[in-house]
């Protein structure tokens, strides 16, 4: 089984089942934890303001920095952010995932601001946070989400992948 379709390796000492919700299964929680760990690059279990700002810079998201920081500041969470707060802030902590939070995440991938992103944009964003995939893996990831087979991922396709609980095959 390839990296793109296999279950992510569990993060040591992390119990994804503690965060499972109606629209958030353990596998998705595990993937979100991996995203959280990109922000938490010192491994403290919390994302500091400096880590958040440095990750925004590393992702070349300065244009969205104000929006991202506003989401965090308006969330009611102050100081360092733990994983539970991360889920809440970005719309995964409640039963319904916030469309505006999903839109913000989608915009990180849609660097051309065209309303879609393709393999090149996905690969660039992944590489900017230290994730490197082969061309075949990137193609497989895009293919998985690309339900209309146009070679790019729309917001609707992105939201379906992020929020849907898929049955095990």
List the domain boundaries for the chain. Answer: 23-95, 98-163
Q: What tens digit of pLDDT does each residue of 8-36 get?
A: 445 567 888 888 877 678 888 888 888 88
Asked, colleague to colleague, whether 23-95 and 98-163 share their fold, the answer is: yes
Quote the CA–CA distance of 122 and 128 in Å, as a whole number: 10
Q: Tell me: the pLDDT tens digits for 38-91?
A: 888 888 999 988 888 888 888 777 777 777 777 777 777 777 888 888 887 776
Q: What percent of the chain has pLDDT over 90?
A: 15
Residue 92: predicted pLDDT: 66
Fold of 23-95: Recoverin; domain 1 (1.10.238)
Instruction: Please give the pLDDT value at position 94.
Output: 56
Residue closest to 62 by CA, chosen among 6, 102, 9, 107 = 107
Please name the residue ranges forming H helices in 24-98: 26-39, 49-58, 62-74, 83-89
Residues β-bridged to residue 144: none
Phi-psi region of 8 (alpha: psi -120 to 50; beta: other; left: phi over 0): beta
Per CATH, domain 98-163 is 3.40.50.720: no
Rg (CA), the chain: 15
* pLDDT tens for each residue of 90-130: 766 654 445 666 777 888 888 888 999 999 988 888 777 66
């Amino acid at each position: 089984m390839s990296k793109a379709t296999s279950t992510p390796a569990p993060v040591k000492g992390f119990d994804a089942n503690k965060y499972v919700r109606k629209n958030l299964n353990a596998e998705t929680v595990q993937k979100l934890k991996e995203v959280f760990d990109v922000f938490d690059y010192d491994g403290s279990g919390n994302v500091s303001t400096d880590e958040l700002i440095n990750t925004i810079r590393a992702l070349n998201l300065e244009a969205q920095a104000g929006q991202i920081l506003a989401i965090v500041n308006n969330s009611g969470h102050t100081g360092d952010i733990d994983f539970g707060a991360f889920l809440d802030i970005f719309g995964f902590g409640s039963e319904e995932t916030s469309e505006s939070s999903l839109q913000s995440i989608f915009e990180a991938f849609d660097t051309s601001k065209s309303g879609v992103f393709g393999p090149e944009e996905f690969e660039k964003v992944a590489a900017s946070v230290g994730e490197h995939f082969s061309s075949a893996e990137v193609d497989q990831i895009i293919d998985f989400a690309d339900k209309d087979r146009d070679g790019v991922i729309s917001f609707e396709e992105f939201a379906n992948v992020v929020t849907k609980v898929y049955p095990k095959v």
